[in-house]
Amino acid sequence: MSRPRGWFRVLAVTLVLMLAAFLAVAQKNTIKIGAILAVTGPASNLGAPEAKTLQMLVEQTNAAGGLLGRQVELVLKDSGASPEKALSFARQLIEEEEVLAILGPSTSGESLKIKDVCQEGQTILLSCAAAEAIVNPVAKWVFKTPQNDAFATLWIYGYLKERGLTRIGVVASNTGFGNGGMAQLQKYAPENGIQILIAEAYDKDATDLTSVLTKLKAREVQAVVNWSIEPAQSLVAKNMRQLGMTVPLLQSHGFGNIRYVEAAGQAAEGIVFPCGRLLVADALPAGHPQKTLLLDYKKKYEDRFGEEVSTFGGHAYDAYTILAEAVRRAGSVEPAKVRDAIEGLKGFAGTAGIFNFSPTDHNGLDMSSFEMLTVKGGKFVLLKP
Amino acid sequence: MPLEQLLQYFFAGITEGAIYAIIAIGFNIIYNTTGIINFAQGEFLVLGAMIATSLAGVLPLPLAVAGAVAATMAVGALVDLVFIRWLDSPSVLRLVVITIGVSILLREGMLHAWDEKVRALRHFTGSEISSVRILGAHIAPQALWVLGIAGVIVAALALFFRYTLAGRAMRACAANRTAARLCGIKTRRLVTLSFCLSAGIGALAGCALSPLTQTQYDMGASLAIKGFTVAILGGLGNSTAAVAAGLMLGLLEAFSVSLLPLAYKDAVSLTVLLAILFVRPGGLFGRRESQRLKEF
Amino acid sequence: MRRYLPLAVVGLAVVGLQLALQAAGTVYYLTQLTMAAFYCLVSIGLCLLMGYAGQLSLGQAGFFAIGGYVSAVLTTLKLDAAEPAARLLSSLGILAERRDAYENFLLGVSPWAALLAAVLVTGLVALLVGLPVIRLKGHYLAMATLGFGLIVFRVVLGTRLLGQADGIGGVPPLPLLGLQVSGGRAHRVESYYVAWALVLAALFLAVNLIHSRVGRALRSIHGGEEAAGALGVDTARYKLATFITGAVLAGVAGAFLTHYNGGIGPSEASSMKSVRYVAIVAVGGMDNLWGTLLAGALLNFISLRGYLGSYDDAFFAVILIAVMLFFPDGLLRRARVGRREGG
């Protein structure tokens, strides 16, 4: 019985070796791009659309012949919005997979945690999180694609000032995004003549905000500003109406997902918030530099995944397309060259706005990347001035 | 504080308190029959709401809720049959750990069955912006539904335990399991029944709560902790006290918001939990001796 | 001497593994192995508590977090170097300078002083919490420890100073005899050895404890508390001592991992982490140190590598249930004379 077994073993080993060799060779020719996204867990409203978008884009690239003639391989890790998982995955991606760049993470907290690791590992990081601290102070290898919360704040204050609503109440979630927003709101209030009568942070898992909103109502605020990315955004709207509060509600650019409107139902009517143009692409004038790509992304995403686009997916879209464009312009996948190419991108149209990078500006967006949107008939529409 | 604000906090407090009370009652039912604390109790609420939102797409709301309650009861029975029933005089440690494992399993199951998105059941009456004025305070009609349903559950259970054979058998089990067996009561079946019942009332409460708080797959754990706090507060096994304790905790939390930053609201109930466990584990309404007599 | 044999085996395995990985060119596995080592420390402490003192604790993650956060807060302070008090403390070695990613020099508490503080704070909290907790049994004990862990989680999440939902970053490496405990590629191997040396030290202490009078007292408590009390064993004191030991081990692990990762977040205090520590002890055999070590190293490594994907938590739940249902004495049972189902 040993002879057949012996043959079998030799054959098996040979096959395995051949497979390994084949894989090794096959690997060599792909461009590896890493992604750390919060696909499941508390930030899944951000991470899930981001992951889907990247999947879709990588498939598109590969179908069209790849990048610089090579297939793109996406190495996606689900961090579940946990910073230490993000850290562990970042190290894995940099040291083992030796990726060209890391796209994501989805949340500001995670991004700030892995910023140093990427800097040290000289790996490009294109974060999909919004906190200003990610690119300020500027780290050579770290970029981000969402707009700055400072811009959103200024847009909100502009709206309020126009209508003489100067005594406001602010509620924000206790995450990096919420804290960042709270800080910006407080920073820019005095110079815009806004008085924040009361500011409260709530837990991102909060299920009932009537108690804190009662406090705001008692102080007779003229408007409420909410800053969060969690589903609690819808709760604020609903609770306000249940309490009989009729003052305007303004949200941050974290409101850019139709699910929040659906969750809030009729309470969402009239909410005003600054946002990128993705959600109102149809209403843009013909010839607007973003219009074509926005409509294209919207159609492809919605056909493929059967759900509406969100600005979060858009951030991942921008991160990938920026990277791809930089690789093309650099003509190589040498990290330093690609990095320089990113910094040299000007007038690059993305979903969040028109990007103008530079060695001192690793976000590339400005005030004009936003429009003021509102909710009408359960849909996002441009706010008519 | 102006009366209107006071009333506002009051209503917020009793609405949440009613839910805590229902969860605590769910704990008590299982505890009384089996001596087990079912850590998965919170998941029953979430599961009920999740199933209801799925069914609400095809069925009218009352049927969807009924279907969800029935399905969750089936799951409750399954939990008993698969994990608990055939254990032979297990230690408390084992049981605690097993029910914790079950709660995690249910949660992860819901995640993969439904995904991570937040859902909400349709408001039973009115919509997201309906508001009713009571003595100057504004309250959502759905909150009145929550209070109403909680009241009905408590009343129905009281009748069940007093007047039906099964209910009385369960009370016998609670008093003394061996004696009950000797009387010919099939304790094993009652255990399954108690799981069913707990799951059912949990699901119903979850459906009533869903329009107000929205439902996400991982909400079960924090609900369970609050419910447990209330159960202990009232004295483990004492469902009437659980109602009072629930309302108390709810009011405490609601009014704490007026004094403390909102972020510490949950810390309030946790502090109450630890305080009670350390100082008076028998609960506010329990007697010192009853706590020692219970087997651990 | 025979009792130390497993220690030697573990030590050899640690060295052997590192050399093997080096040869295979897959040195990056050391990162997850190092992190796993720190998590093992927690489970070892818990093993003593659960397996020997018979106390369930669902709040070890809370102590881990306390140790980590104390270290993090102290070492990331930005003090004014010009202050005379600062200069005095610097010269004493209590304050130390660190460099951040932007080439700035900042003055904070030195990592070793912070570590000492972390140990003290964790020990103190363990004492305060332990005193009432050890009197509880069964479900009440479980809930109290769970509640404690949750309070730590909520406090950390709600406090500005502790970084709220994003935690604290920018924590400097921990210097040790010219080596550094840090996650950087350059310090990977030395951090690995420091971490496992720590684990071996903890195991050494645990083995000594088990075979001492204290250990025998603990086992007698586990076997039957009233009987032990009747024999004159000061059950309360021993249980409290074990509780504090477990807590301090967790706190030390937390501090070290914080330096290794360069930061800490509220998820380290979550109840899910506590459940994992318990699961590992359960799988390894409640009172089996070596089983706990093996289970801890393996399971943590697998989880950190992301091999389980989004089924991570579900996996731990399943093995926890499976072990509890079918192997209540743990998968790696040791032949114990007179071992019976205890509380």
Q: What is the pLDDT of residues A271-328, one digit of tens each?
A: 999 998 888 888 888 888 889 999 999 999 999 998 888 889 999 999 999 999 999 9
Q: Decide if B66 touches C, using CB distance below 8 A.
A: no
Does the pLDDT at position C60 exceed 70? yes
Residue of C nearest to B89 (CA): C341
B129 vs A contacts (CB less than 8 Å) = 238, 241-242, 265-267
Are the C-beta atoms of residues A210 and A236 closer than 8 Å to each other?
no
Q: What is the mean pLDDT of chain A?
A: 87
Q: Which of A170, A182, A210, A212 to substitute to test the interface with B, most B CBs within 10 Å?
A: A210
Mean pLDDT throughout C272-284?
90
Does the pLDDT at position B82 exceed 50? yes
Q: How far is B107 from chain C (nearest CA, A)?
A: 8
pLDDT at C255: 94
pLDDT at A362: 92
The least confident of B46-60, B63-77, B276-290 is B276-290
Number of domains in chain B: 1
How many CB atoms within 10 Å of residue B147? 18
The least confident of A302-306, B282-286, C26-30, C108-112 is B282-286
Q: Decide if B163 touches C, using CB distance below 8 A.
A: no
Does the pLDDT at position B226 exceed 80? yes
The least confident of B290-294, C140-144, C318-322 is B290-294
pLDDT at A9: 57
Q: Decide if B259 touches A, using CB distance below 8 A.
A: no
Contact A242 B140 (CB under 8 A): yes
Percent above pLDDT 90 for chain B: 25
For every residue of chain A, which 3-state class applies, written as one string?
Answer: CHHHHHHHHHHHHHHHHHHHHHHHHHHHCCEEEEEEECCCCCCHHHHHHHHHHHHHHHHHHHHCCCECCECEEEEEEECCCCHHHHHHHHHHHHHHHCCCEEECCCCHHHHHHHHHHHHHHCCEEEECCCCHHHCCCCCCCEEECCCCHHHHHHHHHHHHHHCCCCEEEEEEECCHHHHHHHHHHHHHCHHHCCEEEEEEEECCCCCCCHHHHHHHHHCCCCEEEEECCCCHHHHHHHHHHHCCCCCCEEECHHHCEHHHHHHHHHHHCCCEEEECHHHHHHHCCCCCCCHHHHHHHHHHHHHHHCCCCEHHHHHHHHHHHHHHHHHHHHCCCCHHHHHHHHHCCCCEECCCCEECCECCECCCCCHHHCEEEEEECCEEEECCC
Which CATH fold topology does A149-275 show?
Rossmann fold (3.40.50)
The least confident of A104-108, B43-47, C234-238, C269-273 is C234-238
Of C101, C164, C262, the CB nearest to A139: C101
Q: Decide if B5 touches A, using CB distance below 8 A.
A: yes
Q: What is the pLDDT of residues A231-273, one digit of tens each?
A: 788 889 999 988 888 999 999 988 888 888 888 888 899 999 9
Q: Which of B45, B53, B262, B266 to substitute to test the interface with A, most A CBs within 10 Å?
A: B262
Tokens of A356: 């103008």
Most confident of A116-120, B9-13, B229-233, C247-251: C247-251
Does the pLDDT at position C11 exceed 80? yes
Of C148, C158, C272, the CB nearest to B274: C148
pLDDT at A16: 58
C interface with B, Cβ–Cβ below 8 Å: 50, 56, 58, 132-133, 136-140, 142-144, 146-148, 150-151, 154-155, 157-159, 271-272, 275, 278, 282, 310-311, 313-314, 316-318, 320-321, 324-325, 328, 341-343
C142 vs B contacts (CB less than 8 Å) = 37, 96
Q: Decide if A174 touches B, using CB distance below 8 A.
A: yes
Phi, psi (deg, nearest 5) at residue B63: -70, -40
Report the CATH number that the domain containing residue B220 is assigned in CATH. Answer: 1.10.3470
Does the pLDDT at position C82 exceed 80? no
Q: Decide if B260 touches C, using CB distance below 8 A.
A: no
Class of domain A30-147+291-368: alpha beta
Does the pLDDT at position A378 exceed 70? yes
pLDDT at C331: 60
Q: How far is C146 from chain B (nearest CA, A)?
A: 9
Q: What is the pLDDT of residues C129-167, one digit of tens each?
A: 999 888 887 778 888 899 899 999 988 888 888 887 778
- A7 confidence band (pLDDT: 50, 70, 90): low
Are the C-beta atoms of residues C273 and C61 closer than 8 Å to each other?
yes
- A383 confidence band (pLDDT: 50, 70, 90): confident
Locate the domains of chain A by residue range.
Answer: 30-147+291-368, 149-275
Subunit partners of chain B (3 or more CB pairs within 8 A)? A, C
Fold match between A30-147+291-368 and A149-275? yes
Q: How far is C17 from chain A (nearest CA, A)?
A: 18
Contact C140 B296 (CB under 8 A): yes
A78 vs B contacts (CB less than 8 Å) = none
A244 vs B contacts (CB less than 8 Å) = 131, 133, 138
Does the pLDDT at position B215 exceed 50? yes
Residue of B nearest to A230 (CA): B118
Pairing state between β A223-227 and C95-99 = unpaired
Of B111, B112, B267, the CB nearest to C154: B267
Of B118, B130, B262, the CB nearest to A200: B262
Q: Whole domain around residue B213: which residue ranges?
A: 3-293
B264 vs C contacts (CB less than 8 Å) = 154, 158
pLDDT at B279: 83
Residue of C nearest to B101 (CA): C317
Of B83, B104, B111, the CB nearest to C325: B83
Q: List, as ranges, residues 237-266 from C with C-beta within 8 Å of A.
A: 261-265
pLDDT at B289: 45
Are the C-beta atoms of residues A167 and A138 closer than 8 Å to each other?
no
Contact B128 A203 (CB under 8 A): no
Q: How far is C165 from chain A (nearest CA, A)?
A: 5
Residue of C nearest to A111 (CA): C166
Does the pLDDT at position A1 exceed 70? no
Residue of C nearest to A39 (CA): C310
pLDDT at A106: 92
Q: Which of A103, A22, A53 is nearest to A327 (CA)?
A: A103
Q: Decide if A329 touches B, using CB distance below 8 A.
A: no
Percent above pLDDT 70 for chain C: 94
Q: Which of A37, A170, A214 to substitute to test the interface with B, most B CBs within 10 Å?
A: A214
- A153 confidence band (pLDDT: 50, 70, 90): very high
Are the C-beta atoms of residues B41 and B29 closer than 8 Å to each other?
no
Does the pLDDT at position A10 exceed 60? no
Q: How remote is the C-alpha of B36 from its chain's centroid?
A: 15
3-state SS assignment for residue C179 = strand
Q: What is the pLDDT of residues B50-73, one digit of tens each?
A: 999 999 989 998 999 999 999 999
The strand pairing partners of A172, in sequence order, are A201, A227
